[in-house]
Structure 1
Amino acid sequence: MASIVGAVGLTIAAAGFAGRYALQAMKHMEPQVKQVFQSLPKSAFSGGYYGSGFEPQMTKREAALMLGVSPTANRVKTRGAHRQSVLLNHPDTGGLPYKAAKISDVKDLQEGQAKK
C-alpha cells in the first residue's frame, strides 16, 4: 500500500515538474508564435466572411467571401475552395444545413457565370 502511495506521489511530482518546464519553454517561444500568427492570412481565423449575414440574392463578392478566395480567382482555385467548403460544412459532418444550402448557391452562381 505504501509503495502505491509513493508511486502516485512521484507521478504527481513528475507531472508538476513537466508542467513547469512546459510553461517556461512557452515563455521563450512566445515571440516565434506571435510571428507565425502574424504571418498567417487574416481569413485563416475569421473564415473570410464578414459579420453582416447573408445577402438575399447571392452575389459574386459574397460567393468569393464564403469560399475565402478573391472575386477574380480562376475556376480551378474556386472549385478547390468550394469542394473544401462543402466537406467542412456538410450537415452529415456537423455543419449547418443553412450554410450548406448557401454553399450550394455559390456553386449554382459559379455554374451560371461559366455558361455565360
Structure 2
Amino acid sequence: MTSAIIAGLGLAAAGFAGRYVLKQMPTLSQKMAEAVKSMPKLDSQSLANSKYYKGGFEQKMTRREASLVLGVSPTAPKSKVKEQFKKVITANHPDRGGSPYLAAKINEAKDLLEK
C-alpha cells in the first residue's frame, strides 16, 4: 500500500515538473534567440587577426612554416626551439590522444629549425 502511494506521488511530481517545463519553453526559446543575436559576428577581419595560423601545410616545410608550427621566431636559438618543441609535442603526442600526422610535422619543424 505504501509503495503505491509513493509511486503515485512520484508520478504526480513528474507531471507537475513536466508541466512547468512546458510552460517555460516559450520564454526559454526567446531568451536563447536573444542571446544568439547578441553574440559577436565572426567575419574575415576578426579571423585574420587571430593568433592561430589558419593555413594548411605546404608541400615542403619552410622555416616560416616551421616557426609557425612551434610558435617561435624563424631566427630563434636552438635552446628556445628545443624548449618550445617539448611543450608542443607534449600537448600533441599520439600516445596522449594527439595526431600522428601533427607529431610528424612538429618533429619536422624542430629538425628544420635546429639546422
The corresponding residue for 2:14 is 8
The corresponding residue for 1:102 is 105
State the identity as a percent: 27
Does the aligned pair in 2 maintain the 1:60–1:71 contact within 8 Å? no
Unaligned runs of 5+ in 2: 1-6
Task: Tell me which of the two structures has the higher relative contact order, counting C-alpha pairs closer than 8 angstroms and 6 or more residues apart.
Answer: 2
1:89 equivalent in alignment to 2:92: yes
Q: Quote how far apart the aligned CAs of 1:3 are.
A: 0.8
Unaligned runs of 5+ in 1: none
TM-score (norm: length of structure 2): 0.57
Aligned pairs for 1:1-116 within 5 A: 1-16=7-22, 20-35=26-41, 37=42, 41-42=47-48, 48-51=53-56, 53-56=57-60, 58-67=61-70, 69=71, 82-112=85-115
TM-score (norm: length of structure 1): 0.57
CA RMSD after TM alignment: 3.9
CA deviation map 1:6-33 (0-9, x unaligned): 1222333444456654432232223442
CA deviation map 1:25-62 (0-9, x unaligned): 23222344225x55864586xx62424x4424x21122
